[in-house]
Amino acid sequence: MARKVPEINAGSMADIAFLLLIFFLVTTTMDTDSGIVRRLPPPPDPSVVPPPIKERNVFNVLVNKSDRLFVDGRVGDIKTLRADTKEFLSNPNNSEELPEKKTENIKYIGTFQVSKGIISLKNDRGTSYDMYIQVQNELTAAINELRDELSKQKFGVKFSELTNDDHIQAVQKAIPMSISEAEPENIGGK
Amino acid sequence: MARFKKEKSGELPAISTSSMPDIIFMLLFFFMVTTTMREVTLKVRIKAPEASEVQKLEKKALVSFIYIGPPTQSKLYGTESRIQLNDTFRSVADIAEFIFTEREARNEADRPLLTTSLKVDKEVKMGVVTDVKQELRKVGAFKINYSTKKKVVKED
């Protein structure tokens, strides 16, 4: 007579399945797409002559084909780029070399000295994308830090934590994202 | 260790948990199936650069992707950076058409909000990227996003 086969204990199956479930829940990071947001300028209109901009109002950032930086007439470094950009845009000592400011009356902020400075970024065709992103990142970081400072001073919170759209717009108006990209040049070849 | 003994009458029978694994497996399969990202088969290798000042892409339905990088099958396609639109390799000249079809696929109201996300490998030279950007400017797709990974902040 055949013996009765003992039942296989399936109690731990649930635990195994749970473990798998949790593993998938944790590892499938829903590929959150993030990145640096930029707005491209419309194509240049040949009939419109660009207005002259004073030398002191332009912050030239050049990146060459071997990923070296040339910042406002000097050899630059990615590590100091953020501080340099901040100094240029804020011009704390009202230096003659650094950009002019225009006094504007902005709602929610009051009178504010808006910098006329423009960052001009120019890269070579041979620049690596990585370097380009690093430069863009530093420039964005400089502007974001300035916005944070202003926002903290006026509204008590960081710029990214502002919820009121009017406040966001006010800060954006006071410190504009003034990065302009020059038309590309082909110096270093491919 | 579980023991199976003859139950005495009067005791409550144990609740059967044998269907628990099935329930959990069902959940597991649900998650495994739903979390497949709507994605094209990448034919180019993309290792995104890292940056700290990143913003999240909000409406995923309103994003069209352009992939640029060296082909994964380098024996077949070489090592020169290529542009991938949808599932095929394309040239810079095809970008205008790609953007138009992407626009056509959306509601009229959503069209101005369309963002183009550039997923570019770190090693790609800016030449290709600049060409793509110029092409996007021509067709009026001004909102772009350089896809980057969030940098892990190091203490130094």
Question: What domains does chain B contain, in order, with CATH numbers?
Answer: 50-150 (3.30.420.270)
pLDDT of residue B68: 92
Specify the 3-state DSSP secondary structure of B116.
strand
Burial of B69 from C-beta contacts in 10 A (0-12 / 13-18 / 19+): buried
Residues whose CB is less than 8 angstroms from the CB of residue B131 and which lie 6 or more positions away in sequence, other chains included: B92
The per-residue pLDDT for A190 is 43
**Which residues from chain A sit within 8 angstroms of residue B137, using beta carbons?**
40-43
What integer is the mean pLDDT of A150-164? Answer: 86
Average pLDDT of the segment spanning A156-174:
85
If you average pLDDT over residues A167-171, what whole number do you get?
87
For chain A, give every domain's residue range: 55-181
**Closest by Cβ to B145, choosing from A36, A129, A144:** A36
pLDDT in tens, chain B (156 residues): 556 665 555 778 887 777 777 888 888 887 777 665 556 778 888 888 888 888 887 777 788 889 999 998 888 888 888 898 888 888 888 999 999 998 888 888 888 888 898 999 988 888 888 889 888 988 888 889 998 888 776 555
- Token pair of B56, please? 């999240």
Kindly give, in sequence order, each residue whose CB lies less than 8 Å from that of residue A163, ignoring residues fewer than 6 positions away: none
Q: What phi and psi, each to the nearest 5 degrees, are found at residue B57?
A: -80, 125
Contact yes or no for A28/A152 (Cβ under 8 A): no
If we measure between CA atoms, which residue out of B43, B134, B132, B146 comes closest to residue B86? B43
Interface list for B 91-120 with A (CB within 8 A): 115, 117-118, 120
Substitution target in B16, B25, B27, B53 with the highest count of A β-carbons within 10 Å is: B53
Taking each helix axis from N to C end, the angle separating B20-34 and A13-27, rounded to the nearest 10 degrees, works out to: 20
Residue A132 to residue B126, Cβ atoms within 8 A:
yes
Across the interface, which of A25, A30, A133 has its CB nearest the CB of B148? A133
Torsion of CA A13, A19, A20, A25, to 10 degrees: 140
Tens of pLDDT, residue by residue over A36-87, are 888 888 887 778 787 788 888 888 888 888 888 888 888 888 888 888 888 8
Provide the token pair at B154. 């190091």
CB contact under 8 A, B28 and A41: no
How much is the pTM? 0.76
- Give the best residue of B57, B65, B82, B126 to mutate against chain A (max A CB count within 10 A): B126
Distance of alpha carbon A175 from alpha carbon A144, whole angstroms = 9
Query: Euclidean distance between the first and final Cα of chain A, in Å?
Result: 84
pLDDT band at A189 (very low <50, low <70, confident <90, very high): very low
A105-154 confidence digits (pLDDT tens): 888 888 888 888 888 888 888 888 899 999 999 999 999 998 998 888 88
Q: Say what the ipTM of the complex is.
A: 0.73
